[in-house]
Chain A
Amino acid sequence: MSQITDLSFSELKKALGDRTLSSVDITNAFLDRIETLNPTLNAFITITHDEAMQAAKEADAAISNGTATAYTGLPIAHKDLFCTDGTLTTCGSKILSNFVAPYDAHVVSQCKNAGLVSLGKLNMDEFAMGSSNENSYYGPVKNPWDTTRVPGGSSGGSAAAVAAQLTPLATATDTGGSIRQPAAFTGTSGLKPTYGRVSRFGMIAYASSLDQGGLIAHTAEDVAHGLGLIAGHDSRDSTSANQPVPDYTETLNDSLKGKVIGIPKQFFDDRLDSRMRHAMDDVLEVFKSLGATTIEVSLDHVAEAIPAYYVIAPAEASANLSRFDGVRFGYRADSPADLMDLYERSRGEGFGSEVKRRILIGTYALSEGYYDAYYKKAQQIRRLIRDDFNRALSSCDLLFGPTTPSTAFVLGEKTADPVAMYLEDIYTVATNMAGLPGGSFQAPLIDGLPTGYQLTGRAFGESMILNAAHQVQLATDWHTLRPEGV
């Protein structure tokens, strides 16, 4: 008999609906498990035990008196850059280590309104800058599959929490790969929606034109449920798309017969590790067995996505993070001598090294004399990349590729050289530049460690991505594997 915490979000939904489990049962089970495992994994920064129990009780009451929604009483945890009213919201940073948010992010209130029970706030790379969750003020997150390894980043806490079954569903964000890469490293399913699909109101900004809120869970079906709750127009976010939200679960079972899958040749060159290639081929075989065909496509400028990203994202971040100045909220340095000292020390002491590096690069790229060569050039390359994707997706339904160059690397392995870390994003970054939806789903293990394959769709084509991934999950068992020893 499996434990409650073994169940996926969809399975728990069914159990609540059947009344075989109560929200209090479920919430207790996950809170116990968090208590046991979090000291090792460090996936949670804040565990909202009492609030969760209270919400669970209220959920059970609503269920019994018939005022519940289809999702009332189900657990979720939020990446710690979503503002949660009355609860610490740190962004993994010392500069917000005392920041009790005075309002809820749109994503958070959508979940609350649906009756979800929030278990707590998840660890992350500071201000979403990182690919390993080693940049957190609260210490690194460990990969449940091998605690000497990273879970990926920046949504390392979200991915590790789901993989270790501390929560069946977690919100996360992706600016250059921060949902997809940790999902691949931890054997979970993760989706970054189309830019503008999910409101950024209350989602503390890193790079405004690239950030997008999404989800990590065990299966595509789970993600489909969650996406329906958090997607939708929000007039408080000017970049929020006014597009209707379909029922993502409705189309999960569409047949893949005749679907065309594009294989960008740039993703399958000599640089791709042979075992990763082998794992990807296994996935492609499944797609073909389900009736899909493959064609080769080209994303001519995809190699420039990384340099362009590492100009645009830091540039936008350098301005977005200016508000952290010790004046109205957050960390303020002790006994500042004058205003300059207040700013320099609050920010110097409050930000970690990676954040400072990106602020400096970003400031430099925007500074007098360098704007054209850096920022403007990067935005031009962005258009070329976006057009490449649109062109490729006009001849196929989905793009396919590996999510990461390898399986999860060891803690400390890439921290000496920032650029080595940046190159981890090589398969994911271009999708954010193009603003398109992308998901990572479980592929065969390599040496006992998870891998992920990536699907990229047309704008607002999340249904197709989840449908394809779900069909693969029905035909395989990679998504059922769990780390041992946790």
Chain B
Amino acid sequence: MYEAVIGLEVHVQLSTDSKIFSGSSTNFGAEPNTQASLIDLGMPGVLPVPNAKAFEMAVKFGLAIDAEIGRESIFDRKNYFYPDLPKGYQISQFEKPIVGPGRVTISLEDGTSKTINVTRAHLEEDAGKSVHDAFDGMTGVDLNRAGTPLLEIVSEPELRSAKEAVAYLKVIHSIIRYLDISDGNMAEGSMRCDCNVSIRPKGSDTLGTRTEIKNVNSFRFVEKAINTEINRQIEILEDGGRVIQETRLYDPDKDETRSMRSKEEANDYRYFPDPDLLPVVLDDSFISACRDALPELPEARKARYISEYGITDYDAGVLVADRDVADYFAEVANTSGEGKLAANWVMGSVLAELNQTGGTITDFAVTAKQLSDLIGRIKDNTLNSKTAKTVFEALLASEGEVDAIIESKGLVQVTDTGAIEAIVDEVIAENPDQVANYRAAPEEKQGKMLGFFVGQVMKKSQGKANPQAVNQILSSKLSG
């Protein structure tokens, strides 16, 4: 009945050493206002001087999304008053941004791909932070963050579901991580997402009224926020009402969006070219230097993994999506020499755990080296798939290194045929009826029935017996 129309504005904090218009440090977590220079404070008489690296990073992003690069870009003033905006205007780019139209490809759940066009990306300065609860009736303003370079990436409103939006966001995240132009850490605020959401009758080509959900700070919340907003808007329309254009905030505790600012305060930003800055003109050598410095991007890395490690297209796609995950996988694969096993473990156990806890691989309890050790012990038959899982759980709980865990839990796989034979004999002796049934059954049915005995042997060996050996010994003893 209705279709959702979604566009995302992603603000990426660029990981330059100094701010976009001043020589202050951009380090996270410093004491309030200790990284706020005269320029960052908007003192009378100071002037901005743009950071070359911010431009390099923006251009690299533009090249990575096949975009037109703004060879001459202009900085504009965006005027409004807020305590965390010291000059009373933000230096941004309006009509002539550094990056023009480009595109990215997202993978949908049904396995197909979709191209999402990026309208533009521009450079601007970040505002400071407000601390609302620290003081009695007062808000505290910290301008350390004021002046940090931001790249604002605007998508066309071509996303049609919360899942597509998250897929797009993950691709953007992947690119900025690959380019190493940002930490891309949503929880810390180095990547922020504003979601523009509207709905319209299916088949219509006019746009409905949209709302903007600001500053949603995780992939999960982006999905939830968009979904609740879509539902909210549908309900309004079905009740015969109209959606009001406004800014909203997502409340994760209540899983709903709420109105942020009343719209009678609609902002007239009065954009005009900043007269303290001149047009930034980038020549061919600047652009080609950026192009030469581009790292291997996700698509290329994926192709290489398929050929190098013999993994599937789907697996490779999952593994390269996040640069840190790809790096982790590569380390495991290379150290263990087992590409396919590494892929299975990373995609299976590692990512599953991360998805559940919402953590990141850089903080993950199991290091690449440890996982590689684990795979090594599977390869040399010390562990079987069951005991390997036990070791993995122990690694997750930071119980120590692989070999130490194997030893302390006595998990060494029993491969000694003598020992297995002894257990098999026990099981056969304890289950005379099943043995009789087995021996009497036709060959086709025996395979299934063997499973019972295998289970018993595994139980008696606390899972440590080598399954192949167990099968072999059981079959021969049962038939004999």
Closest to B23 in A: A236
B47 touches A99 (CB 8 A): no
The verdict on A367 contacting B45 (CB below 8 Å), with A209-B275, A327-B83 known, is: no
A222 contacts the other chain (Cβ, under 8 Å)? no
Chain B residues within 8 Å of A105, by CB: 45
B47 touches A200 (CB 8 A): yes
Size range of the interface on B? 20 to 34
Closest A-B pairs by Cβ, 4 of them: A322-B88, A208-B275, A366-B270, A209-B275
Closest to B39 in A: A236
Chain B residues within 8 Å of A204, by CB: 44-45
A325 touches B81 (CB 8 A): yes
A201 touches B46 (CB 8 A): yes
- Taking a contact as CB atoms closer than 8 A, the residue among A99, A209, A329, A343 that contacts B81 in the complex is A343
Which residues of chain A from 233 to 273 have any CB-CB distance to chain B below 8 Å in the complex?
235-239
A237 touches B47 (CB 8 A): yes
B49 contacts the other chain (Cβ, under 8 Å)? yes
In the complex, A235 Cα to B278 Cα: how many Å? 13
Which residues of chain A from 191 to 211 have any CB-CB distance to chain B below 8 Å in the complex?
200-205, 207-209
B89 touches A238 (CB 8 A): no
B268 touches A323 (CB 8 A): no
Size range of the interface on A? 35 or more
B86 touches A89 (CB 8 A): no
Between A and B, 17 residue pairs with Cβ closer than 8 Å are A81-B45, A89-B44, A101-B44, A102-B38, A200-B47, A202-B45, A236-B47, A239-B47, A239-B276, A318-B79, A319-B79, A319-B88, A319-B89, A319-B270, A323-B42, A323-B43, A324-B44
A325 touches B44 (CB 8 A): no
Chain A residues within 8 Å of B103, by CB: none
- Taking a contact as CB atoms closer than 8 A, the residue among A99, A202, A318, A368 that contacts B268 in the complex is A368
Q: From residue A311, how far is it (CB to closest CB) to chain B in Å?
A: 11
- Taking a contact as CB atoms closer than 8 A, the residue among A81, A238, A324 that contacts B276 in the complex is A238
B43 touches A235 (CB 8 A): no
Which residues of chain B from 69 to 111 have any CB-CB distance to chain A below 8 Å in the complex?
77, 79, 81, 83, 86-89
B79 touches A366 (CB 8 A): yes
- Taking a contact as CB atoms closer than 8 A, the residue among B43, B83, B87, B270 that contacts A329 in the complex is B43
Binding site for A on B (CB under 8 A): 38, 41-50, 77, 79, 81, 83, 86-89, 139, 141, 268, 270-272, 275-278
Closest to B77 in A: A319
A96 touches B86 (CB 8 A): no
B43 touches A102 (CB 8 A): yes
- Taking a contact as CB atoms closer than 8 A, the residue among B42, B89, B278 that contacts A328 in the complex is B42
Closest to A196 in B: B278
Chain B residues within 8 Å of A102, by CB: 38, 43
Closest to B276 in A: A208
Q: Total contacts A to B, CB within 8 angstroms?
A: 96
The verdict on A366 contacting B42 (CB below 8 Å), with A238-B47, A322-B79 known, is: no
B268 touches A367 (CB 8 A): yes
B48 touches A322 (CB 8 A): no
A363 contacts the other chain (Cβ, under 8 Å)? yes
Q: From residue A242, how far is it (CB to closest CB) to chain B in Å?
A: 12
Chain B residues within 8 Å of A205, by CB: 44-45, 276
Majority secondary structure, A binding face: loop
- Taking a contact as CB atoms closer than 8 A, the residue among A238, A323, A343 that contacts B278 in the complex is A238
In the complex, A367 Cα to B89 Cα: how many Å? 14
A91 touches B44 (CB 8 A): yes
Chain B residues within 8 Å of A319, by CB: 77, 79, 87-89, 270, 272
A425 contacts the other chain (Cβ, under 8 Å)? no
Chain A residues within 8 Å of B83, by CB: 327, 339
Q: From residue A336, how far is it (CB to closest CB) to chain B in Å?
A: 10
A221 contacts the other chain (Cβ, under 8 Å)? no
Q: From residue A439, how far is it (CB to closest CB) to chain B in Å?
A: 24
Q: From residue B473, how far is it (CB to closest CB) to chain A in Å?
A: 81
The verdict on A375 contacting B45 (CB below 8 Å), with A322-B81, A322-B88, A322-B89 known, is: no
Closest to B270 in A: A366
Chain B residues within 8 Å of A235, by CB: 49
A396 contacts the other chain (Cβ, under 8 Å)? no
B272 touches A371 (CB 8 A): yes
- Which among B45, B83, B268, B277 has the highest number of chain A CB atoms within 10 Å? B45
In the complex, A204 Cα to B41 Cα: how many Å? 14
A283 contacts the other chain (Cβ, under 8 Å)? no
Q: From residue B265, how far is it (CB to closest CB) to chain A in Å?
A: 10
A236 touches B268 (CB 8 A): no
A103-B38, A366-B79 given; name 17 further pairs at CB < 8 Å: A83-B45, A101-B44, A203-B45, A204-B44, A205-B45, A205-B276, A208-B276, A237-B47, A316-B275, A319-B272, A323-B43, A328-B41, A363-B270, A366-B270, A366-B271, A368-B268, A371-B270
Chain A residues within 8 Å of B86, by CB: 323, 327-328
In the complex, A339 Cα to B42 Cα: how many Å? 18
In the complex, A102 Cα to B46 Cα: how many Å? 11
Chain A residues within 8 Å of B275, by CB: 207-209, 239, 316
Chain A 356-369 interface 0/1 with B at a Cβ cutoff of 8 Å (1 = within)? 00000001001110
B43 touches A238 (CB 8 A): no
A315 contacts the other chain (Cβ, under 8 Å)? yes
Which residues of chain A from 87 to 112 have any CB-CB distance to chain B below 8 Å in the complex?
89, 91, 96, 99, 101-103, 105
A367 touches B270 (CB 8 A): yes
Closest to A205 in B: B45
Chain A residues within 8 Å of B271, by CB: 366
Closest to A315 in B: B272
The verdict on A236 contacting B49 (CB below 8 Å), with A91-B44, A319-B77, A323-B42 known, is: yes
In the complex, A236 Cα to B42 Cα: how many Å? 14
A323 touches B88 (CB 8 A): yes
Chain B residues within 8 Å of A81, by CB: 45
In the complex, A329 Cα to B139 Cα: how many Å? 16
Closest to A322 in B: B88
In the complex, A340 Cα to B46 Cα: how many Å? 25
Q: From residue A455, how far is it (CB to closest CB) to chain B in Å?
A: 26
In the complex, A203 Cα to B48 Cα: how many Å? 13
Chain B residues within 8 Å of A324, by CB: 44
A99 touches B44 (CB 8 A): yes
A238 touches B44 (CB 8 A): no
- Taking a contact as CB atoms closer than 8 A, the residue among A96, A103, A201, A323 that contacts B47 in the complex is A201
